[in-house]
Amino acid sequence: MIKKVSLLTAVLLFGLSFGQNKEQLQKQNAELKKQIAQINSQLAKSRNESKLSVAYLEGVNKKIELREKVYQNTQKEKRFIEDDIYLRQLEINRQNRELAVLRRNYANVLVNAYKNRDLKNKVTFILSSKSLGEAIRRVQYLRFYSDYQDKQAAKIAKAASDLERTIAEKAKSAKQKEILLANQKKEITTISAEKQQKEKLVQEFKKNEANLSAELKQKQTQSKNLEGQIRAIIAEEIRIAKANEEAVRKAEAEKIRLAKEAAAREKARIDAENKAKADALEKERRLAEAEAKKAADLAAKKLADERKRTEEAAKAEASARDEARKIAAEKESREAAQKAREANEKLAAARAAEAELTRKTDVEKKAAESKALTNYGVSSNAASNFAENRGRMNMPAYGTITHRFGRQPHPVFKNIVEENNGIKIAVAKGTGAKAIYPGTVSKVMASGDGTRTVIVKHGNYFTIYSNLSSVSVSQNQQVSAGTNIGLVAEDFDGSYTLDFQIWNGTTPVDPLGWVN
């Protein structure tokens, strides 16, 4: 029983994981085949448009790499299917044994039922009971026995159905394996053909090695000269920027000095103007305090007199005149208390007016300082956000990266070492280069081979777009991210290649660390 449960659990778990992994592999292969189709389309175009190019060779290499990934995924999928077939066979064997046992047991039941098929025997069996309770139990037994027969028959039918389904699933997996093996053979044939194509292409490179090497060295010489010009331009830009910064700093300092003087004069005027108001308010407050004190003293005196008269009236018999005096004294006391309240309210208002004047004076001083700074053109320099957007900027053009940053051997001619200050992107004919970040066009340069180079300044950083057949911007023009810089030109090997660089000051950096 435990073995049965374990086997069922294994089959179910494997079936679940098999389905998930198989689906993932098939999805990956579909995506890889889509990429292969795109590369084939690009290769067909570039092959018609170009001569012998590194970009074409890179495309073939990429296609072979993707094909091999598809083959590896297919191998994994085949192993999953083989494991599934093996587990299905184990389940078929188990179900066959279980079905044999069920059929054997059911045969025994049928034999016994046949032997006791006579209705009289069943009636005699019930009537021969010694008591009514025993007769009822025998009836229940016969009914249970009949139900048991039906259940056994149902179990056999279900087991047979399960077995047929498992056999069908195994057959389906076997069919999938056959299809997979056929596809694998096709993949192996295709990979072999593409590797032969690559070898043929490399041989074509070798045949033209002398011409291509000469053209490549000429291009490297031009690139070196261009690099020297770029360094000189960037160095001059930095020198001018530093000089401008120093001039701006001095001008800003002078503006701040003049603004502070103007602000100080305005503050002095505000202080003088508000001092008289403050003195008047202080005088008014002191009069209010004196009046409040006088009113409070008068009220206290009236209250004391009233208390004294009350005490005297208590000692002697009250007369009508005393009663009148008492009423008059109470009235005077109430009037004194009212005056005291009014005096206190007047004092509170005077103190509030003094506080408001102090607050208003501070606000006017700050406003005067801000106005003076604005009038003298004092402003803060906005720092460049180029570095903060590292890794989030778009590519200047989309295609195949044929040359990466740094010192590297040539993809075909290993005896030639290339020194790249950026990356080279092979693109389709008619592709335009776009600015990767807002900035100012620092320089538009013409090269000896008829191509152009555009340098865009982003604070301390510079982006460089070389090998352009035409440009769409001019010097000192402000550009935004995505602004069209110019059309990518045809390279010496017939491909259309953009040479893109990023410099931090006078130091080139790897563009792939900056663009996504």
pLDDT at 382: 31
Query: What is d(CA 106, CA 108) in angstroms, rounded to the nearest whole number?
Result: 5
**What are the tens digits of pLDDT across the range 317-341?**
555 566 666 676 677 777 777 777 7
Q: What is the DSSP letter of 512?
A: G
Query: Of the given ranges (62-71, 106-115, 347-356), which has the lowest mean pLDDT?
Result: 106-115
Closest by CA position to 85, among listed 185, 175, 183 = 175
Q: To which residue do tokens 């659990």 refer?
A: 9
Residues near 139 by beta carbon (within 8 Å), at least 6 away in sequence: 126
What the block records as the tokens of 119 is 């209705």
pLDDT at 395: 94
pLDDT at 171: 77
Query: What is d(CA 458, CA 372) in angstroms, rounded to the nearest whole number?
Result: 32
Where does 422-481 show beta strands of DSSP type E?
422-427, 432-434, 439-446, 452-458, 461-471, 478-479
pLDDT at 155: 76
Q: To which residue do tokens 């053909």 refer?
A: 193
Query: Of the given ranges (297-306, 457-466, 489-498), which has the lowest mean pLDDT?
Result: 297-306
Give residue 347's Cα distance to chain centre: 63
Region for residue 486 given its phi and psi (left: phi exceeds 0; alpha: psi -120 to 50; beta: otherwise) = left
- Collapsing DSSP to helix, strand or coil, 416 comes out as coil
**What are the tens digits of pLDDT across the range 205-218?**
666 656 666 666 66
**Average pLDDT score, the chain:** 75
Phi, psi values for residue 512, rounded to 5°: -65, -15
Q: To which residue do tokens 């007199």 refer?
A: 305
pLDDT at 383: 34
Q: To which residue do tokens 């073995």 refer?
A: 3
**What are the tens digits of pLDDT across the range 126-180?**
566 667 777 677 667 667 766 766 777 777 777 777 778 878 887 777 787 777 7
Task: Please write down the HEC assignment for all residues of 142-187.
Answer: HHHHHHHHHHHHHHHHHHHHHHHHHHHHHHHHHHHHHHHHHHHHHH
pLDDT confidence of 379, banded at 50, 70, 90?
very low
Query: What is d(CA 166, CA 90) in angstroms, rounded to the nearest whole number?
Result: 10
Q: What is the pTM of this model?
A: 0.47
Asked if residue 471 has pLDDT above 80, the reply is: yes
Query: What is d(CA 506, CA 234) in angstroms, rounded to the nearest whole number?
Result: 6
pLDDT at 510: 94
First to last CA, the chain: 58
**Between the ranges 33-37, 119-123, 160-164, where is the mean pLDDT highest?**
160-164
What the block records as the tokens of 24 is 């993932």
pLDDT confidence of 452, banded at 50, 70, 90?
very high
Q: Please compute the mean of the pLDDT values over residues 491-505 and round it to a whole number.
A: 86
Asked if residue 278 has pLDDT above 60, the reply is: yes
**What are the tens digits of pLDDT across the range 50-61?**
455 666 777 777
Q: Please compute the mean of the pLDDT values over residues 281-291 and round it to a whole number.
A: 78
Better pLDDT: 505 or 161: 505
What the block records as the tokens of 269 is 């005027």
